[in-house]
Amino acid sequence: MMNPVERMMKRMLTALRKTSKELSAAEETVDTLRNTKWRLVKELKALEFDFTATPEGVDVILSAPPSMKF
């Protein structure tokens, strides 16, 4: 029979495993969304979209890496 501390540690380890799995899935989702965002930005740039003309464009400009020129 487990003592209270062992039971608590077991519950916490189970929660940690679950949290780690959920975090991994969320990170994959964020990576996919980020890749889609920058693909769309590149396509819009190729079409000579004026990123300063819309709120979405300004958001893109502010979040872009320094190497990306607008």
pLDDT in tens, the chain (70 residues): 889 999 999 999 999 999 999 999 999 999 999 999 999 999 999 999 999 999 989 999 999 988 988 8
Residue with tokens 């930005």, as numbered in its chain: 41
pLDDT at 70: 82
pLDDT at 10: 97
Give long-range contacts, CB 8 A cutoff, 24+ apart: 35-42: 41/68
